[in-house]
Amino acid sequence: MATEKAANNGVSTLDGAIDDSVTSLTVATGEGSRFPTTGNFRVIIDNEIMLCTARSGDVLTVTRGYEDTAAASHTDAADISHVITADAQVQFHKDSVGYGLIGSLPATPERTGRVYFPSDPDGGFAVAKDNSTWKYFGIINGPFDGVNLSDFEDYDTTLSDDTVEQRGPFVHWKNDGITPGGENIRCRMQTIAHSTWTITAAFRFHPSVAASYSTIGFGFRNSSNNNIMQFCVGPRADANMLYLWYWYNSATSFNEAVPNTQQRVYRTEVSWVKVTYDGTDFKMYASTNGREWCFIASRASGLGFGTPTQWGMLCNPYNANSDNRYVTHADFYHLKIENGVV
């Protein structure tokens, strides 16, 4: 795809009159070199803006009547100037960032500093070092959809002890070191509209500020019996950070840790967790990038939990300190529910 081009001192005159329909024009002999070597760029003659899509010597191929101007006839020797218009400015910004399949990455960057974000599992992103070389940086744990805090409502009034706020496209959750005296789940939830579903979430538990056994993640609730399931990460007394699946009788009453779910996670990484429900069984998966998933465990809903009616973000500042340290401090980057098992 052609990107917007620019050149200094792009001025000349028409070599021959043109009517309001021709799509090529000639500038004064030898002065075509004053314009960009190829399209796209904008020129203006009288009050008409044209988009030049190609140049061959002194001949310009143009689209007439651009940016809400009217195509018109122009006389021989009329002034023609290369201009940076309002739409050109917008196009320059669009050309600076690309998004799509890694296989669609242009072989040669169009300009220094261009950034390209791949949408497929190869991950990473590329930045143009110069006009001929791409440089690749890291692996992105994404793409993230972001989280809209206003989509979720307070379930537990004790949430007033926490700070939960929108930070750009993400949600930041902070608990200010209160002492809840055991289990004390805080929830932001919304109604589940599907009979079968898949939830994916990406979040990061800040590593240096968490008390042992505090957790943060997502989960769901059965409003008929107040049972809560939490899929989360959290530190243990031995300082390891683990993926966890907990079942609670209520916000203040623990039931059990679902067996075989305590898998270690690095403290500084973004944690991706997926849970599916087919109407009978819950299944938990973990990932480092939100694309390739590792099965963790499954559990039948008929073992006592019942059918979930609400889902959302959950925090449990268990074993909190009373010295005003942040015992839960995390960011939510992605939180999405989809109809059916995906």
The reply to whether 304 and 198 lie within a common domain is yes
pLDDT confidence tier of residue 139, bands split at 50, 70 and 90 = low
The reply to whether 128 and 276 lie within a common domain is no
The reply to whether 71 and 157 lie within a common domain is no
CA-based angle 251:253:254, to the nearest 5?
105
Distance CA 37, CA 188 (A): 57
CATH code at 329?
2.60.120.200
Q: Could you tell me which residue, 180 or 43, shows the higher pLDDT?
A: 43
Q: Could you tell me which residue, 115 or 328, shows the higher pLDDT?
A: 115
Asked whether residue 288 is assigned to any structural domain, the reply reads yes
Distance CA 141, CA 200 (A): 13
What is the residue-wise DSSP string for 201-239?
EEEEE-TTS--TT-EEEEEEEETTTTEEEEEEEEE-TTS
The reply to whether 70 and 215 lie within a common domain is no
How many domains, in total, are found in the chain? 3
Range of the domain at 128: 101-137
Distance of CA 201 to CAs 284, 298, 329, Å?
Answer: 11, 17, 16
Residues 64-83 have pLDDT tens digits of 999 999 999 999 999 999 99
For residue 159, the model assigns a pLDDT of 55
Q: Are 173 and 161 in contact (CB under 8 A)?
A: no
Predicted confidence (pLDDT) at residue 158 exceeds the cutoff of 70: no
The reply to whether 330 and 187 lie within a common domain is yes
* Gyration radius from the chain CA atoms: 29
The reply to whether 84 and 107 lie within a common domain is no
| Residue 260: Cβ within 10 Å count | 11
Tell me the residue length of the chain. 342
Classified as helix, coil or strand, 159 is: helix
Average pLDDT over residues 161-181: 75
Residues 326-336 have pLDDT tens digits of 456 788 999 99
